[in-house]
Amino acid sequence: MKLSVINTGFFKLDGGAMFGVVPKSIWNKSNPADDKNLCSWAMRCLLIEDGDKLILIDNGIGDKQSPEFYKHYYLHGDDTLVGSLRNAGYSPSDVTDMFLTHLHFDHCGGGVTREGDQYSLVFPKATYWSNKAHWKWATEPNAREKASFLKDNIQPMQESGHLNLIEANGSSPLPQFDILCVNGHTDQMMIPMIRYNGKTICYMADLLPSTGHIPLAYVMGYDTRPLITLEEKGRFLDEAASKGYILFFEHDPVNECCTVKQTEKGVRLDRTFKLDEL
């Protein structure tokens, strides 16, 4: 098995929204905000090459929305989805499986493109994976999350015939990883737990956006059920510390991976490193 980081660029989000009830005087030390109170965040995806499988986990924000939409998110950086795939030695048509942790626009927008009024898949030969419960949640959205579930990111996957919906029971359709399903951020978000060289690499998605979110109370204001996030984070971090899991961050603007450890203050950051250092 070979793992490659696929960087798709950076965007900005309000720091207060990203850290919830935690005061700016605290979170600004790890994630400094600009004069608009915005912090930069990565959209970092993961490519798994294993035999005849080329699996991409999440795909960034895409480029098909209007300038009015993108002006709210201040896209920046030189990396692109297709460019990073090319740097890894692949093209979009090589991807066999497009695994989506959840369907918020910054995680799935890069999987569909548009020319005029016509939509097509960026990965024309891939099976697109989601789960039944989350798909229902995303296509019948609540008022709070409606702006995060964009129809032109979601419906073309189903209309293409490439969409495969699994049961949200933690079982994986792909043997390369197990799945941890969590419900605090959004309903039935899937966290891939990848078995690699005797280690477990956890693709954190929005359960843990960055190293700055490791302390238990650091929960995003975007989470639909923050008390459930607290429970899910607590269980996960205790297990990660005891079993030596490697945490792979989708949104941390600096750190690709880390390990955690138990301290007298609870689970805290142990060390950070790049994926290719494993």
Q: What is the pLDDT of residue 160?
A: 97
CB atoms within 10 A of CB 218: 22
Length of the chain measured in residues? 278
Q: What is the pLDDT of residue 151?
A: 97
User: What would the pLDDT profile of 187-217 be if each residue is shown by its tens digit?
Assistant: 999 999 999 999 999 999 999 999 999 999 9
Q: What is the pLDDT of residue 110?
A: 98
Nearest one of 227, 234, 131 to 187, comparing CA atoms: 131
69 touches 45 (CB < 8 A): no
62 touches 111 (CB < 8 A): yes
The token pair at 111 is 């999987």
Q: What domains can be seen in the chain, in order of their start residue?
A: 2-277 (3.60.15.10)
Mean pLDDT (the chain) is: 97
User: What would the pLDDT profile of 73-114 be if each residue is shown by its tens digit?
Assistant: 999 999 999 999 999 999 999 999 999 999 999 999 999 999
Under the banding of pLDDT at 50, 70 and 90, the label for residue 65 is: very high
User: What would the pLDDT profile of 4-52 be if each residue is shown by its tens digit?
Assistant: 999 999 999 999 999 999 999 999 999 999 999 999 999 999 999 999 9
Under the banding of pLDDT at 50, 70 and 90, the label for residue 170 is: confident
